[in-house]
Chain A
Amino acid sequence: MIALEHVTKRYGAVTVVEDLSLAVAAGEFCVIIGTSGAGKSTALKMINRLVSPSEGRVCVDGEDVSLLPPAALRRRIGYVIQSIGLFPHWTVTRNIGAVPELLGWSKARIRARAAELLALLKLAPDAFLDRYPHELSVGQQQRVGIARALAADQDILLMDEPFGALDPITREGLQAEIAEIQRSSRKTVVFVTHDMDEALKLGSRIAVMDRGRLVQAAPPLELLTAPASDFVRDLVGRDDLGVKLLGLGTVASRLRAGASVPGEPIAAGASLRQALSRMVAEGCDRLAVADAEGHPLGAVHLADLLRR
């Protein structure tokens, strides 16, 4: 779906991205992670031609993007940026409708689509459709920013540190929503972040960049268990590797079905890391497990967490 082939970007004497090759398959959630200045944003912007590579080729759907008109290419790709960039003189509806408007949708269709997306992102449509960006909190603004990127329902979504400026609670909520949206829509997402926890939580594959080069591109578990270099090992964190590994699994995968344990149950969809945290905090070695509706499913034991 997206292929960067031996891509290099230089600004004068400075090489920002060097010989980067990365293929993102359709439906994949690819996270590009690295320290600041690693070239991850530049790599992302070469996909929608906001940056043109000095060398190499970028293909989207098998087409070389340098041969496509930039505006037409970008209208096929959803885009979310850290600074959000809502148009301050437009209402929420018109902001969400920015791309559909360029594509020539009718006003009524845009409004209906905006309402649908606001609901999807847990903002009450009636309360928000006609508001201006400055009347929203930063978290609400970024929800609108994501709705805007989803508006034309393109197959590809590029996200450039979208949650970097949000508080932890808002960030977690939006991470869960974007993961759910990607799961249900099977969009191809390329997501830039410098937060390893975010990368592990969201990515089906994680591409680690260091000083312009791709160091490793692997699924989360492989990245944790078989880091390609000391840099990757440092980035995933040597000290809390164990809890990060636990973060990848869900309670459902270690469930002792039918077992009964007293106490407040944990959701089957919660991560093993959350289960461990609960056990430590509550000083117990087993937790009751319930499904999303609260029906008891069984239990999970501390020993289960240690199984590989």
Chain B
Amino acid sequence: MVRNRVLLVLLLAGLLAVPSLAFLTLAPNRLISGAPVGLGAMHHEGALVLLMPGVLLALGVFLPQRAAFHAVTAAAAASFLLLLVRLAGSEAAVLAQTAPPVARISPGGAFWVLLIAAALALSNALRRLAVPVPVGVLLGAAMLGAMILLLLSGALDSLAILREYAARRAAFAAAILRHAAMVALALLPTLLLGVPLGVLARHRAALAAWLFPLLNVVQTIPSIALFGLLLAPLSELAAFFPALARLGIGGVGMLPAVIALILYALLPVTRNTSEGLAGVSPAALEAGRGFGMTPRQLLWRVELPLALPVILSGLRIATLQTIGLAAVAALIGAGGLGAIMFQGLFADALDLVLLGVLPIIAMALAANALFDLGLARLHRMPR
């Protein structure tokens, strides 16, 4: 009797992937695509470590849907995930012993399917357990911590992605910082500009009538096109005022990237501010006005606090979107993790692409978790 269909689908996906896709791929060098190494071909204890959590997950499909069993499923999924990564590392180390030094050992399709299935099983079990947001965030942080410990332990060093990392440690750290700086530099002006614009648009229909269509159109411009569009006027500007050029302002680099990111991020922040204000109870507004609050007092004491959850949701969308889009900004020389990603893309080196992309995903997940925490705090207060 199947009691958890989600888990069943994930289990079947995993079972299908293991015999048909490579667990690891072994390439003689970075440029040649690798030969598959299946999970069945593993050395020593090999894939057996996955057996125990795997069986528990399979049991979860059929067991009654009770909190205790969801907890077991969550624990099984979490340990499956970590053991899977560790297994990839240790098998890569075994393969590396007999392979030439320039050989590249990368996770294959089966690894990724199992990884994603385990992650989904974990999040599904946590959702069924209905864990409070702070606990969920804590568990996420614990998983991240365990992953970082695995990375630091050297157990994964034979994997190509870590070899790529080892070759550019300094550049990688700088790219992360630059990426984060770009996101912060875009979000701060977005907030300072978007919230007042949203407040104005709420009270001035004439402004809203052209502002929102305009911001909507900006959203539809492909990011590469927008970066390109900013190139010409900014380089003109720099040519006209050499002082600006000396400050590093020009058609390429961080500035046009940040401007474009602000233009994209404005819509969710402005629109949500305006909508959040529109949702404030008319009775509270009438009471506030009737008690002699000035429009400014009404805005700060009543309207903005009551609209805050909606404004924060808008800022969350803007943040996640900016973290992702900032990768594309590397194309106009803004640097960041996107630079590593594109370097990999142009060199056809998949592991290098991953080295750029995985931290972007981690950054987005971390930001998302922070917003979850903040919004959960707000929701504990009544609205």
Interface residues of A (CB under 8 A from B): 48, 50, 70-76, 79, 81, 83-89, 98-99, 102, 132-135, 145, 148, 158
CA distance A85 to B285 in the complex (A): 8
Contact of B306 among A75, A88, A134, A158 (CB under 8 A): A88
Complex Cα–Cα for A285 and B289 (A): 54
Could you say which of B292, B297, B382 contacts A70, with CB atoms under 8 Å apart?
Answer: B292
In the complex, whether B45 has a CB less than 8 A from a CB of chain A is no
A132 to B379, CA, bound (A): 13
Q: Of A75, A85, A89, which one neighbours B292 at CB under 8 angstroms?
A: A75
Residues in A whose Cβ lies below 8 Å from that of B287: 79, 81, 84-87, 98, 145, 148
> CB distance A48 to B284 under 8 Å?
no
Across the interface, name the chain A residue whose C-beta is closest to B297.
A102
Cross-chain contact B292 with A73 (CB below 8 angstroms): yes
Does any Cβ of A come within 8 Å of B128's Cβ? no
Q: Is the CB of B292 within 8 A of A102?
A: yes
B residues 264-304 touching A (CB-CB < 8 Å): 281-294, 297, 301-302
Q: Given A83-B283, A84-B283, A85-B287, are A71 and B382 neighbors across the interface (CB < 8 Å)?
A: no
Residues of chain A lying within 8 A (CB to CB) of residue B290: 48, 50, 74, 79, 81, 158
Shortest CB-to-CB span from B295 to chain A, Å, is 9
**Does B291 contact A89, Cβ atoms closer than 8 Å?**
no
Minimal Cβ-Cβ distance residue in A for B298: A71
Asked, given contacts A83-B283, A83-B286, A102-B297, whether A88 binds B383 with beta carbons under 8 Å apart, the answer is yes
Ordered nearest first, which 3 A-B pairs have the shortest CB separation? A85-B287, A74-B292, A85-B283
Q: How far is the CA of A50 from the CA of B381 in the complex (A)?
A: 30
A-B contact count (CB 8 A): 73
Interface residues as binary, B35-78 with A (CB distance below 8 Å gives 1, 0 otherwise): 00000000000000000000000000000000000000000000
B-chain residues with CB within 8 Å of residue A73 when the two chains form the complex: 292
- With the chains together, A88 CA to B294 CA distance in Å? 19
Classify the secondary structure of B's interface with A: helix
Interface centre among A83, A89, A135, A148 (most CB of B within 10 A): A89
Asked if B306 and A89 sit within 8 Å, CB to CB, the answer is yes
Central interface residue in A75, A79, A87, A133, by most chain B CB within 10 Å:
A87
The minimal Cβ–Cβ distance linking B375 to chain A, given in whole angstroms, is: 14
| Docked pose: A123 CA to B282 CA in angstroms | 26
Q: Which residues of B contact A (CB under 8 A)?
A: 281-294, 297, 301-302, 305-306, 381-383
**Could you jot down 5 A-B contacts, CB within 8 Å?**
A75-B291, A89-B381, A132-B382, A133-B382, A145-B287
Which residues of the partner chain B approach A81 to less than 8 Å between Cβ atoms? 283, 286-287, 290
Quote the shortest CB–CB distance from B315 to chain A (angstroms). Answer: 19
- Roughly how many angstroms separate A211 CA and B91 CA in the complex, as a whole number? 88
Which B residues are CB-close (under 8 A) to A89?
Answer: 305-306, 381-383
Query: For B292, what are the chain A residues with a Cβ–Cβ distance below 8 Å?
Result: 70-76, 99, 102
Q: A71-B297, A84-B283 are in contact. List 18 more A-B contacts (CB 8 A).
A: A50-B290, A71-B294, A72-B292, A74-B289, A74-B290, A79-B290, A83-B286, A85-B286, A86-B284, A87-B284, A88-B284, A88-B383, A89-B305, A99-B292, A102-B293, A102-B297, A132-B382, A148-B291
CB of B189, distance to nearest CB on chain A (Å): 28
B residues near A132, Cβ cutoff 8 Å: 381-382
Chain A residues with Cβ below 8 Å from B297 are: 71, 102
| Chain B positions within 8 Å of A135 at CB level | 382
Please tell me if the beta carbons of A71 and B283 are within 8 angstroms of each other in the complex.
no
B-side contacts of A86, CB under 8 Å: 284, 287
Instruction: Name the distance in Å between B381's Cβ and chain A's nearest Cβ.
Output: 6
Does A71 contact B293, Cβ atoms closer than 8 Å?
yes
Known: A89-B383, A132-B382, A133-B382. A99 touches B283 (CB 8 A): no
Q: Which of A79, A132, A135 is most buried by chain B, counting CB atoms within 10 A of its CB?
A: A79
List of A residues within 8 angstroms of B383 by Cβ: 88-89
Report the Cα distance A245→B338, complex, angstroms.
Answer: 85
CA distance A79 to B284 in the complex (A): 12
CB-nearest residue of chain B relative to A79? B290
- Contact A98–B283 (Cβ < 8 Å): no
Query: Shortest CB–CB separation between residue B382 and chain A, in angstroms?
Result: 4
Contacts of A148 in B (CB 8 A): 287, 291
Task: For the complex, give the distance between the alpha carbons of A132 and B383 in Å.
Answer: 10
Closest to A98 in B: B291
User: Given that A133-B382, A134-B382 are contacting pairs, would A88 and B281 also be in contact in the complex, using a CB cutoff of 8 Å?
Assistant: yes
Residues of B within 8 A of A70 (CB): 292
Chain A residues closer than 8 Å to B284, beta-carbon distance: 85-88
Closest approach, in angstroms, between the C-beta of A135 and any C-beta of chain B? Answer: 8
Q: Which residues of A contact B288 (CB under 8 A)?
A: 85, 87, 98
Provide the residues of chain B in CB contact with A102, threshold 8 Å. 291-293, 297
Shortest Cβ distance from A76 into B: residue: B292
From A72, which residue of chain B is reached at the shortest CB distance? B292
| Shortest beta-carbon distance from B374 to chain A in Å | 15
CB pair B305 A79 closer than 8 Å? no
Q: How far is the CA of A132 from the CA of B281 in the complex (A)?
A: 16
Q: Name, among B290, B301, B305, B382, the residue most crowded by chain A CB atoms within 10 Å (CB to CB).
A: B290
CA–CA, A52 to B285, complex, Å?
A: 18
Which residues on A sit within 8 Å (CB–CB) of B291?
A: 74-75, 79, 98-99, 102, 148
**With A and B bound together, what is the CA distance between A98 and B301 in angstroms?**
10
Q: Which of B281, B283, B287 has the most CB of A within 10 A?
A: B287
**Cβ-closest chain A residue relative to B381:** A89
Q: Which residues of B contact A48 (CB under 8 A)?
A: 290
Chain A: minimal CB distance from B283 (Å): 3
Cα A198 to Cα B284 with chains together (Å):
26
Q: Which chain A residue shows the least CB distance to B287?
A: A85
Report chain B residues within 8 Å CB of A85. Answer: 281, 283-288
A168 to B161, CA, bound (A): 74
- Smallest CB separation, A77 vs chain B (Å): 8
C-alpha spacing A167/B282, complex, angstroms? 23
A133 to B284, CA, bound (A): 12
Bound Cα distance from A88 to B378, whole angstroms: 12
Least distance between A94 CB and chain B CB atoms (Å): 10
The smallest beta-carbon distance between A272 and chain B, in angstroms, is 38
Residues of A within 8 A of B382 (CB): 88-89, 132-135
**Nearest CB of chain B from residue A136's CB, rounded to whole Å:** 11
The complex places the Cα of A193 from the Cα of B242 at a distance, in Å, of 73
